[in-house]
Copies of this chain bind each other. A is one copy, B any other.
Amino acid sequence: MDQEAHHAGEQGSLLLQDQLCFALYAASRSVTTRYRPLLQELGLTYPQYLVMLVLWEEGSVSVRELGTALQLESSTLSPLLKRLEAGGLIHRERRADDERSVAVRLTRAGADLREKARTVPLAIGEAMGLTPEQDAIAKHLLRLLTENVTRG
């Protein structure tokens, strides 16, 4: 299919272009780069946008729940949330019933931002240029891969 026929040794190949991991890494960065100008208009970075997606969906969640949903450590989320709070989009407070937990909730400005974000997923979907079938297959395989890699 491609230029050469080294299919035989592809499994253990050290060639960059044979590596699924590199295709994955390059694709992920290309997508966040594509998001950047769109999200800049909302004053968000890509990981901040993901946090906002969870909050728009769930309303109020703990840092721990955010970490579970996004598969991110608290050491990544804490500074990120601090920046969102400084930007006036979220509010944080210790939970009364369990003071180890911190509840994260949207401010009015954070909730309002949802409307401006509505067009983003379609714009990105269009830029990715996959058919609905390809999109579904890709999601399926990526989730399967993540599941396997994380468990192993």
How many copies, total? 2
Interface residues in A23-76 (C-beta closer than 8 Å to B): 23-35, 46, 50, 53-54, 56-57, 69-71
| Segment with Cβ contacts to B, from A78-86, A87-95, A96-104, A128-136 | A128-136
A23→B53 contact, CB < 8 A = no
Per-residue B-contact encoding for A1-24, CB less than 8 Å = 1, 0 else: 000000000011111100111111
A27→B145 contact, CB < 8 A = yes
Q: Nearest CB to that of A135 among chain B residues? A: B20
**Chain B residues whose CB sits within 8 angstroms of the CB of A12 once the complex forms:** 118, 121-122, 125
**Chain B residues whose CB sits within 8 angstroms of the CB of A122 once the complex forms:** 11-12
**Chain B residues whose CB sits within 8 angstroms of the CB of A128 once the complex forms:** 20-21, 145, 148-149
Chain A interface bracket (under 10, 10 to 19, 20 to 34, 35 or more): 35 or more
B149→A14 contact, CB < 8 A = no
Q: From B14, B23, B34, B70, give the contact of A143 (CB < 8 A).
A: B23
CB distance from A48 to the nearest CB of B (A): 13
A16→B54 contact, CB < 8 A = yes
**Chain B residues whose CB sits within 8 angstroms of the CB of A111 once the complex forms:** none
**Chain B residues whose CB sits within 8 angstroms of the CB of A138 once the complex forms:** 20, 23-24, 138, 141-142, 145
- Would A141 and B145 be within 8 Å (CB), given that A21-B124, A56-B14 are in contact? no
